[in-house]
Amino acid sequence: MPEQKPEERRQNFAEVNLGLNFHLATQEAMRCLECANPKCIDGCPVGVKVKDFIALVLTGDYLGAAAKIREDNILPAVTGRVCPQEDQCEGTCIMNKKFGAVGIGYLERFVADYERESGQIGLPPIAPPTGKKVAIVGSGPAGLSAAGDLVQRGHQVTVFEALHEVGGVLVYGIPEFRLPKEIVRQEVENMKRMGVEFQTNVVVGKTVTVDELFGEEGYHAVLVATGAGLPQFLGIPGEDLCGVYSANEFLTRVNLMKAYKFPEYDEPIYNCRGKNVAVVGGGNTAMDAIRSALRLGAKNAYVIYRRSVAEMPARAEEVKHAREEGVQFLLLNNPIGFLGDEKGWLRAVQCIKMELGPADESGRRRPVPVQGSEYVLPLDVAIIAVGTSSNPLVQSTTPDLKTRKGGYIEADPETLKTSKMGVFGAGDIVTGAATVILAMGAGRKAATAIDEYLRTGVW
Amino acid sequence: MGIEGFSIAEARFLAPDVKLFRVVAPRVARKQQPGQFVIIRIHEHGERIPLTIADSNPTEGTITIIVQGIGKTTKLLNRLNAGDFILDVVGPLGRPSDVRLFGTVVVISGGVGTAIAYPIAKALQRAGNHVITILGARTKNLLILENEARAVSDEVFVITDDGSYGEKGLVTGKLDALIAGGKKIDLVLAIGPIPMMRAVAEKTRPCGIKTIVSLNPIMVDGTGMCGGCRVQVAGRSQFACVDGPEFDAHEVDFDGLAKRNAMYRESERQALEQFVSEPESGPELIRHRCKLEDVAPR
């Protein structure tokens, strides 16, 4: 995949990966062995018919290929960019072991981009109206994917979003350089054309309750897809100093509020130019945050992670991109306190070195502190990216909705039915924080169950 | 909730730079309880700011917000008039005030804090409390909602810093006098600038009078997602947007709150300077809709 040169891209928010051209796309598609029993489809959480779409790429029917993907995946231009394909379709590709997998993600992105640029979007057919109304709470990947499936089956679908823009983590979390917001907007436009209604500025649980959605608002089923949006902090001294952010706040300011264009946009963000910035954590969110800080002009950009590179949950490609751009990895390091000045501004972080002990319950080797290895690193901005937890607003005003430890919603693993009749749950709010595509897979599963419930009335 | 946003049914200045808006937001109006707030965004390039809901009318489907023009966004907002639109209004957010029968309640508000205190005082009186209101302002023409406060209070004291109206002095002086006079006070509610709330907390702490403050930290989403509004309460990090905005005054780390609120002072100054220097600037949308003449009563 051609990409922007590291020294250029670290100065801008434009997309890093540039996409395949026709020649490269054809070359890549030709590598597909057209297996009789293709494993790639099994590897895909939403079951994209990979073999079929690649065959269409080979005939030059790119629009047909895009439409083929859209049958199973409502957001091809998005997943073509952010899916961890190496663990999914490409991971199960027969070519993977010996020759390297077919670049399925790149091809998906190529046909989705071709389709978007052509303006001829191959929207799937819509079944005749069923007269049933479905409310979807949350417009992230799970909600969008369920909405796409349900509207195709003839149901009237309304998606409620708490923020002012539709897309959930796709618009507030993932940065422009990895997923241009214009692409999300276009996918949402497509869904509007399919008949999905979007209502922004509605916090279900506050503005309207689930019971009111069933009552005066007249919905027949509700899907809760509110995600795992609450930031976790480290719980160490100095975390309230000015300059210490949750990754959610830092990324929301940059992505949703466009703070990187301040003062053209009004929302401010700490001026990172010439400053020392560190992210704490080793996931994709951590990579997104620190690479954003680099683009905001950070002099030194550190990843502080308490385990080694082998345990890092971030995609290998993201780590590679971050390294190329000049991010410094302080692996086997753990912050134990933030130090500030008298005005309350962050000035440094105190860290301790770690070493790996035996494996813990996650199967990863447990990091243990090295006695006496504490040191102080000068720092102006710290971004905490150590995970998120469940968003409680719906549950707190829906007493008959059962939750489990951590406030996540209990749902049947097959039907995604919750303890409350007519209410389904999908995505991170059920499973805990996961990936875009797993949430989309859950959304599809929920859509199938909701459709059946609406048709049969059987709970 | 259409493409144009939320329409303004009424807009009028209550004091220089302090404007009241009645905004059509039926769902919010129906749900609002005293102490809750909305987050608004005025235009496509705008920031999200929290504003407490001063009143609501579920029948009309309107909410009332009262805005002091301090920074770019609030000054821009105060240029809007009836018939204009606010692009985004979301709420009601935060926990409602704890309204029940306490006995005698002293409601202390400073400046535009009265806009927040008024609906709570109203609810407290309705719940059967004896409500004593202390209204504070720097000077006479900055005093707002006096008549409204009188209508929901059993006793009202007006205090101005310069003595231009009511008694000269500070709100804490009046609170001192009430306490010294042997008044049995069951609850104090203080809403206003941080130094005022902190001073009230220090007055009531030695007497063991339960005291509630409504905090105004920096926020982005207002739903618990960003953690920007975190404040130390009783040594624990709390999110003002979902755990508050009201907290026990004796447990709040006001010093930490004040420091965090200063985080964007430089950006705020820059944005305001640019805004003031080019009063015609700003996105097409707002320029188009605003009537730029200032209609404040002077």
What are A214-267's pLDDT values in tens digits?
A: 999 999 999 999 999 899 999 999 999 999 999 999 999 999 999 888 988 998
Residues counted in chain A: 459
| Dihedral sign, Cα of residue B25, residue B28, residue B34, residue B39 | negative
Strand-pair partners of A404 = none
CA A429, A430, A436 angle in degrees (round to 5)? 65
CA angle A172, A174, A178 (to 5 degrees): 140
Q: Which residues fall within 8 angstroms of residue A456, CB to CB, at 6 or more apart?
A: none
Query: Do the Cβ atoms of A240 and B266 come within 8 Å?
Result: no
Q: Which of A217, A204, A221 is nearest to A397 (CA)?
A: A204
Percent of chain A with pLDDT over 90: 90
- Whether residues B227 and A248 touch (CB distance < 8 A) is answered with yes
Residue B284 — pLDDT band, cuts 50, 70, 90?
very low
Are the C-beta atoms of residues A85 and A60 closer than 8 Å to each other? no
pLDDT for B203-259, tens place per residue?
Answer: 999 999 999 999 999 999 999 999 999 999 999 999 999 999 999 999 999 999 999
Q: Nearest-CA neighbor of B43 among B81, B94, B80, B82?
A: B80
Contact B33, B5 (CB under 8 A): no
Q: Which of residues 161-190 of A touch B (CB under 8 A)?
A: 162-164, 172
What's the rounded Cα separation, in Å, for the pair B31 and B27?
A: 6
A426-439 pLDDT, tens digit per residue, is: 999 999 989 999 99
Instruction: Find the mean pLDDT for residues A350-371.
Output: 91
**Residue corresponding to tokens 């062995």:** A33
Judge: A263–B226 Cβ closer than 8 Å, yes or no: no
Nearest partner of B53 among B83, B77, B79, B23, judged by Cα? B23
Q: Are A141 and A439 in contact (CB under 8 A)?
A: yes
* A240–B27 C-beta distance less than 8 A: no
B224–A393 CB contact, under 8 Å:
yes
Q: How far is B280 from chain A (nearest CA, A)?
A: 14
**Tens digits of per-residue pLDDT, B105-158?**
999 998 889 998 999 999 999 999 999 999 999 999 999 999 999 999 999 999
Is 60 exceeded by the pLDDT of residue B281? no
Quote the tokens at residue A263: 């003062």
pLDDT of B289 higher than 60: no
User: Bridge-partner residues for B213, per DSSP?
Assistant: B190, B247
Q: Please, what is the average pLDDT of chain A?
A: 95
DSSP A331-382: ETEEEEEEEE-TTSBEEEEEEEEEEEEEE-TTSSEEEEE-TT--EEEE-SEE
**A-chain residue closest to B265, CA distance:** A268
Q: Nearest CA of chain B to the CA of A273: how many Å? A: 14
Q: Where are the domains of chain B?
A: 6-93, 104-261
Residue B292: per-residue pLDDT = 37
Q: Does domain B6-93 have CATH number 3.30.700.30?
A: no
Does position A339 have pLDDT exceeding 60, yes or no? yes
User: What does the pLDDT average to over B267-282?
Assistant: 78
Closest by CA to B111, choosing from B248, B213, B17, is B17
| pLDDT higher than threshold 90 for residue A336 | yes
Round to whole Å and give the CA distance between B19 and B74.
10
For chain B, the three-class secondary structure string (H helix, E strand, C coil) is CECCEEEEEEEEEEECCEEEEEEECHHHHHHCCCCCEEEEECCCCCCCEEEEEEEEECCCCEEEEEEECCCHHHHHHCCCCCCCEECEEEEEECCCCCCCCCCEEEEEEEHHHHHHHHHHHHHHHHCCCEEEEEEEECCHHHCCCHHHHHHCCCEEEEEECCCCCCEECCHHHHHHHHHHCCCCCCEEEEECCHHHHHHHHHHHCCCCCCEEEECCCCCCCCCCCCCCCEEEECCEEEEHHHHCCEEEHHHECHHHHHHHHCCCHHHHHHHHHHHHHCCCCCCHHHHHHCCCCCCCCC
d(CA A345, CA A381): 9
Q: What pLDDT was estimated at residue B295? A: 37
Nearest CA in chain B to A252: B226
The pLDDT value given to residue B287: 46
- Nearest residue in A to B6, CA atom: A201
- Predicted confidence (pLDDT) per residue in A401-410, tens digit: 999 999 999 9
pLDDT at B89: 97
Predicted confidence (pLDDT) at residue B283 exceeds the cutoff of 70:
no
Alpha-carbon span A8 to A190, nearest angstrom:
33
Q: Choosing among B225, B257, B274, which should be mutated to test the A contact, i.e. which has the most A CBs within 10 A?
A: B225
Which chain B residues are within 8 Å of A263, Cβ to Cβ? 267, 270-271, 274
* pLDDT at residue B276, as a whole number: 84
- Give the sheet arrangement for strand A300-305, strand by strand: A244-246, A381-384, A276-280, A300-305, A328-331
Interchain pair A391, B262: CB under 8 A? no
Question: What residues contact residue A275 under an 8 Å CB cut-off, 6+ apart?
Answer: A297, A298, A299, A380, A381
Q: CA–CA separation, A277 vs A119, rounded Å?
A: 41
Neighbours of B238 (CB within 10 A): 18
For helices B254-261 and B194-204, angle between their N-to-C axes, nearest 10 degrees: 180
Per-position b or e across A175-188, b if 16+ CB within 10 A of its CB: bbbbbbbebbebbb
Query: How high is the pLDDT of residue A263?
Result: 87
Query: What percentage of chain B has pLDDT greater than the value 90?
Result: 79
The rounded distance, in Å, linking the Cα atoms of A150 and A454 is: 10
pLDDT at B3 over 80: no
Residue B64 has pLDDT above 50, yes or no: yes
> B104-261 has which fold?
Rossmann fold (3.40.50)
pLDDT above 60: residue B296: no
Interval A45-95: pLDDT, tens: 999 999 999 999 999 999 999 999 999 999 999 999 999 999 999 999 999
pLDDT by residue (tens digit) across A163-177?
999 999 999 999 999
Q: Residue A211: pLDDT above 70?
A: yes
Mutate to test the interface with B, among A158, A206, A341 (most CBs of B within 10 A): A206
Between CA A302 and CA A286 the distance in angstroms is 10
Burial status of residue B113 (CB atoms within 10 A of its CB: 0-12, 13-18, 19 or more): buried
Q: How many residues does chain B have?
A: 298
What value does the mean pLDDT of chain B take? 90
Domain annotation for chain A: domains and CATH numbers: 6-118 (1.10.1060.10), 133-229+390-456 (3.50.50.60), 232-387 (3.50.50.60)
Task: Count CB-CB contacts under 10 A for residue A216.
Answer: 10
Q: Where are the alpha helices (DSSP H) in A102-140?
A: 104-118
Q: Between chains, do B93 and A203 touch, taking CB under 8 Å as contact?
A: yes
What confidence tier does B279 reach under pLDDT thresholds 50, 70, 90?
Answer: low
